[in-house]
A and B are shown apart, each in its own frame.
Chain A
Amino acid sequence: MIRVERLSFAYPGSGGPALRDVDLHIGEGELVLVVGASGSGKSTLLRCLNGLVPHFSGGTFAGRVQVAGRDTRTTQPRDLADVVGLVFQDPEAQSVAEATSDEIAFAMENLELPPAVMRRRLEEVLDLLHLAPLRERQLASLSGGERQRVAIAAVLAAQPSVLLLDEPTSQLDPQGAEEVLGALERLVHELGLTVVLAEHRLERVAGFADRVLRMEAGRLVGDGPPREVLGDSPLAPPVTALGRLAGWAPLPLTVREARRQAGPLRQRLRPAPAPARRRAHGRPLLEIHGLRVAYPGREALRGVDLEVAGGEVVALMGRNGAGKTTLLRASMGLTPASGGRVRLGGRPVAGRRTSELALEAGFVPQDPGAALFAETVEREVAFTARNHRLPRSAVAATLEDLGLQDLQERHPRDLSAGQRLLVALAAVLVAGPRLLLLDEPTRGLDAPSKQRLVELLAGRRAAGGAVVLATHDVELAARIADRVALLAEGELVASGPVDQVLSESAVFSPQVARVLGGPWLTVAEVREALEATA
């Protein structure tokens, strides 16, 4: 179905090639997972497969790519649209219509399908991706996860034989991700669809893949069954890492496979003391009582209570559209409350300037790169320092704290997603807030960047600061959170220590808890316990 021969490619004006000598053959009906760090060439490879590279990008292209027998050098991407569909990373940037059904129909209209066929296929994909209730909604009014599903539906409606997806679950809550992946698996099994997907959150996709391609600096360094490629890789999902630790063979890729072999490990862990959980003891930095926020036509928050004290990390979890972002924004006074009280640093938020609140709490919104505007990293941080009349030395100190000294002359736009997040963090942290509010910080982040973030947050906690992070990333919450507040439909449905809330939840429990149950949330905790009992 897909044949790639000695493919090399460099973007115009770039330093080095984005792809080097890639040879690849993907058969019909395969579900292929592409893994690798940010900038390793995953997105570029996907773009090569539907001809956007080189037709749209320009650049130096060598080698050959054939899809369904068509050579991408001589076929325009639009003329490949009936065989290849590509779902881009950012669903908001790819929508052409205003209403869901028009968006989904767009590709079918271009393929000149008769209206009767269009209507039938529209119904099919609406059902497949659980979008039927949203069919006439304005796209602008949908949540990120809903828009992601619409983007996938819009491509699927053309019934391509190859589907390319660039981080399709990065915006989705665990349940939404499972729905999308389940739908993909069904399509692969029932219709023989060939799927190539790039993804960082391997815990979600490893079990679905037939084959894994590992990219490193533009080269294809691994190609084979998931167990082989991921087995010895630091990118492996937690269950695989757990299997490695316990010496299981074959290495598990899914929770189900791991549970079958987990009996002896559970026995060994029985005498071990449960991992220690921290209790916050600082004074409350953020106090929310009975908070209500109403948007036109719907209530986003209906009476939420939450207190966050110094020395703790609170994960705010819940499905797409549950009100997580609204809660963070209301905490900063960016979205006015229609009822209840919010106090930041002991004083009410209402009536205070955002610039003043910024000294108490740093807020990094979703897609931190979009909030950067300066020419260099250093100026980005200096902007904040100047506004708060802080000395230049504060800038240098913050840059060093976050390990950004080497990047300080670079343009923020040229950095990876992980580096941009660090710059956005530096730009609010230089003001010295004790509380940090993060909205979906791990969207699009690779494993090393995530590790860096975890260390950074742990450091702030140790220094007496507090962090509230809204996230879908269950594994991240398991690694760093002390408490979890679970939101549903604008109400707080659970709040408590991380092990209690996460292990009791069917949807928001990390892989290790699903395998071992009880208080165990991460591989690191299990490793420590085993070392302690050995």
Chain B
Amino acid sequence: MTESRGLAPLHPLAWLVWLVGAAGVAGALGNPVYQLPLLGVLTAVYLAGHADAPWARAFPLFLRLGVVVLVLRTVLAAAGGDAAPPVLFRLPQVRLPGGVAALGGPVSAGALAGGFRNGLTVLLLVAAFGAFNACVSPSRLLRLVPGFLFEAGLVVTVALAFVPQTVIGLNRTLEAQRLRGHRLRRLRDLGPLLLPLLAGGLERALTLAEAMEARGYGRHRPGAGQGRGAALLGLAGLIAALLGAFALLAGNAAWSARALLGAGAVVVAAAAAAGSRRSGRTRHRQERWRRSDSAVATAAVAALGIVLAARLAGSGDLGWTGAAHLGAPGFAWLPALALFGLAAPVAAGSPR
């Protein structure tokens, strides 16, 4: 039995690079002219690459979640009362005490369009993550987690097992209810099932954690001490690096942000080195980096680079600057074609 259906299995790191590329592109786009084809690309990747396993079946669920967010964002943006003309129609207005904020009132085409494209961005992010999730098995991903972060690995594994187990539990319970003469009429009928389901899922998750512990997960090398210090240090470094990166991305180019990012990265690296010396894991299955992996990673990085460059240069109207007054979105060929770089997993995966 193969891991994925038609595709040569790509290295999880290649998938990770792909995810960064796809999420970055999705985040940079605000123009449905590009957003909709990207949704098509992500769906194609899922269809071609998803594995035949319980964890791989969540994509449709992710997609539905994204659609719900899209609708909500559009409705909320409309109700938010950003009354730039042209106004399409008026909703009854509710003014909050103090007159600071209001709901309802005039609904402009611009607000609707803005909400829609924001929602579309979320949908794309969710779809990218869903496709990634369906194509790479969680256990392969987990192998990328360095040994010293074993607590994190434990939590992730248990959480990953929790979701499909709970879905299995739900199906079992629903079947048991049908067998006992029940017909599911309303979604509300699911309410009373929630608690026992969560309890059952937690119970199984705990058993799994026990089983992992009993099989030596997170062992320390003899005489290496507990090494909590290194883990804490690593965590602190990670937070510092993230804060720095965030500040930089938010447009704060101050030296302090760069310094924070740099120092954080150094601390993380040091903690990782110390931690890996202390507790290690050997690998039964060596993941090999193939030419197709390089191709997928390069294509994803190139797509992200071109889209970001186009966005910064203001070419191709990637952000749909005309959304506020409902001007027709602009279009340029280069960034549009770059999107299809994200479809590389489909092409790279010639059947074995």
A interface with B by C-beta (< 8 Å)? 50, 52, 55-56, 76-79, 81-82, 84-86, 88, 90, 93-99, 101-102, 105-115, 118-119, 122, 136-138, 140-141, 154-155, 158, 332, 334, 353-355, 358-359, 362-363, 365, 370-374, 383-384, 387-388, 413, 427-428, 431
Contacts and interface: CB of A to CB of B under 8 A. Distances in A.
B220 interface: yes
Contact of A93 (B175, B179, B183, B211): B211
B216 A82 contact: yes
B-side interface mostly: helix
Given A102-B285, A373-B196, A81 B219 contact: yes
A3 to B, nearest CB: 20
25 contacts: A77-B210, A78-B215, A79-B216, A81-B215, A86-B214, A88-B211, A96-B211, A101-B284, A106-B215, A112-B219, A112-B280, A112-B282, A115-B284, A138-B53, A334-B175, A353-B183, A355-B181, A359-B181, A372-B196, A373-B192, A373-B193, A383-B177, A384-B181, A384-B182, A387-B183
Given A136-B1, A359-B181, A384-B181, A85 B214 contact: yes
B348 interface: no
B215 A371 contact: no
Contact of B214 (A81, A90, A141): A81
A107 B175 contact: no
A102 B53 CA distance: 15
Interface residues of B, number: 50
A114 B213 contact: no
A140 B53 contact: yes
Interface string B319-333: 000000000000000
Interface of B: 1, 3, 52-54, 137, 139, 157, 161, 169, 172-173, 175-183, 192-193, 196-197, 199-200, 204, 207-221, 280-286
Contacts of B183: 353, 355, 387
Contacts of B192: 373-374
Given A56-B210, A354-B179, A154 B215 contact: yes
A105 B1 contact: no
A118 B215 contact: no
Contacts of B1: 99, 136-138, 141
A387 B214 contact: no
B180 A387 contact: yes
Contacts of A137: 1
A365 B172 contact: yes
By Cβ-Cβ distance, the 10 closest A-B pairs, closest first, are A81-B216, A105-B284, A371-B176, A387-B181, A94-B211, A110-B216, A107-B215, A384-B180, A354-B178, A93-B207
A109 B208 contact: no
A56 B208 CA distance: 12
Given A102-B139, A115-B286, 18 more contacts: A56-B209, A79-B216, A84-B214, A88-B207, A88-B211, A98-B53, A101-B285, A106-B217, A109-B283, A110-B218, A115-B282, A115-B283, A115-B284, A136-B1, A353-B183, A370-B172, A370-B173, A387-B181
